[in-house]
Amino acid sequence: MPRPIVAIGHSAGCLSVVHLSLMHPRLFHAMVLFEAPIFSVYRREAWPSRPAATESLKRKPFYQAWDRRVFAQFVKYGLRDVLAKSEISDENGRPNETTPVRLTTPLVQELASFARPYHNLPAPDVGVGDPRNRLTHPDLDPEALTSLPFYRPEITELFPRLPYLRPSVLYIFGSESHMSLPELRSDKLRTTGIATGGSGGAAAGRVREVVMQGFSHQVPFEAVDECAEEISRWLACESRRWHREEQALHDRWGTLHVSDQMTIDKDWKAHIRRGHRVKSNL
């Protein structure tokens, strides 16, 4: 896989790529993260035909704000034909304009990926003095409960680990998104990459934010060209940084013979006095 690799995530997708980066710190050189998790329960998931679905979706302000190219891709890939043998009237066996369609990802699966309910949370075992129910909701943090009885454990697990994120990060937010309040943006910008093992954070020029004025949580679908321009400018700088870092690593290791890279060099031995060696039981 050609390097450098750049991860791009939107909404809940940000959680996936950040968790992966924390497991493999040098897998990604940089990351572009759009917005934060959100979910919707009240959403239609079936239509009598693809044209009917297209017209229905076009009437919704949510989709009207999308770039027309993104909307076309959603109609193409976000909907699937619901076929029974008796419903295929095309002589070549292909779906026709009266073939019913549904969301490609069933609504229940989409919701499950965004949020788990705890409104039906069983009572904890008071006998062990633990506020959690470790059988059904072992990853529900009692201190993170809100008035809305839904949660995703990754969210509360992830934010304390943002300081350890090693790749450079470009945060892109929509100014009209309720997920992008100034204090929430500030927390991310202030903490990302600042700990030991992290990138160095904003102070080191490794973390930056862009707020797209007039756009919502769906900013990558609404402002395609504008987002592409911001990402291109960011990646131009990151590409130069990556080449500098690769050259520095080559200067340090590339001149050594392969056998020398696989053995303990004389400097190690000089720093470990013979009398202080630890005897191995192997």
Beta strand pairing status for 150-151 and 30-34? unpaired
Report residue 50: phi and psi, to 5°: -65, -45
pLDDT for position 115: 76
Q: Take residue 53 and report the two structure tokens written for it.
A: 């679905």
- For the stretch 154-212, pLDDT in tens is 777 888 899 999 999 999 999 998 878 888 889 999 999 999 999 999 999 999 999 99
- For the stretch 200-225, pLDDT in tens is 999 999 999 999 999 999 999 999 99
8 Å CB contact between 22 and 29: no
- Mean pLDDT (the chain) is 84
Q: How confident is the model at residue 277 (pLDDT cuts 50, 70, 90)?
A: low
For the chain, which domains are there? 1-38+153-282 (3.40.50.1820)
Is residue 234 pLDDT above 90, yes or no?
yes
